[in-house]
Structure 1
């Protein structure tokens, strides 16, 4: 993010500028869709095109064209599917879906931002910047810090401290997808599927 730049959410395709909506809630819904096995890759492309592209119904495009545009949105605008996906490959300490209530409450607490009111408005990049700057006093950061803490080795002085931390870690643990590599692998797999569709 550069403060001197504007968000230019446009894909150039076939000599035409296609405007894209990268509001945070749309990107989050796209992530949810990618994990949903009830839809085929073809259905996902159609849905993603309609989700991201502004006035999508005005474009008379075939599947392959939509596929290329969706691929460009993920790789060029969101930075997924390439070497620099923007996702840490280390230990994962939060989940945007599972921690949704903590994120909502923390944005309200720190910034007085109601994320429900900001759907369709708050840009994905702004959302990420604000999320990464939440103060330690917020519930979200409290939970993240609990997950990050290492349980100390037992001594005769720290039994209560250890038991309390273990209890909190159990309460706030991420039961699924505890490694961000899985999220990156899913996005890369989808990007590869888009490329395979393009070659057919």
Structure 2
């Protein structure tokens, strides 16, 4: 969630040292895709995505606290009630869009409304800025038209248009498995044990 007074998360302090965190929108999208996948060594790949080649402390507490903060930054939305906020928000909310499958539409929407070329913003635009702009896209943009189409109830469509709308829904249907929640993939206990194992391996050479 974007703040007008606070700088978006870009570094984490641990034991009086500062570690840079890469939260560019394209990095976060790669992380979310990784979290949905069944790839091996997810923890190592996630660490590399966000921290690059920095020398990190061999302390599971560092990784657990860091990823809690990263996940909170990624998933926190401005209009959630305090009681509903958690790390279990689905990666693709209600399965209405996919950053991978809808990449063309998202790119075209940013270019159309904001005159922003997302390809030129890779590695630069912070996730919180990207999400604020994404959420502000108008109903006339390609991605919002696709989302509206996917949500359309065919019973509300006039008979003469129903066939065409059904064809469009089939054409734009998401080709996704049921998304995992971030809580499923990076819940506190499994994250802690996974990183503990990773750190023990690292200590052993």
Query: TM-score, normalized by length of structure 2?
Result: 0.77
Matches within 5 A, 1:21-100: 21-40=22-41, 44-53=42-51, 56-59=52-55, 61-62=57-58, 64=60, 67-68=63-64, 70-79=66-75, 83-85=85-87, 87=89, 91-100=94-103
Match status 1:188 vs 2:190? no
- Aligned partners of 1:19, 1:148: CA distance in 2, in Å? 39
Change in Cα spacing, 1:22 to 1:15, as seen in structure 2 (3 Å) is same
Change in Cα spacing, 1:107 to 1:79, as seen in structure 2 (3 Å) is closer
Aligned residues: 186
Change in Cα spacing, 1:199 to 1:10, as seen in structure 2 (3 Å) is same
Secondary structure of the 1:116 match is: helix
Aligned to 1:172: 172
Query: TM-score, normalized by length of structure 1?
Result: 0.79
1:174 deviation in Å?
1.4
Match status 1:3 vs 2:4? yes
1:48 deviation in Å?
1.9
Match status 1:16 vs 2:12? no
Which structure 2 segments of 5+ residues have no match?
A: 77-83, 198-205
Match among 107, 111, 116 for residue 113 of structure 1: 116
1:69 deviation in Å?
5.6
Secondary structure of the 2:174 match is: coil
Secondary structure of the 2:43 match is: helix
C-alpha contact 2:25 2:126 (8 A) present in aligned 1: yes
C-alpha contact 1:23 1:122 (8 A) present in aligned 2: yes
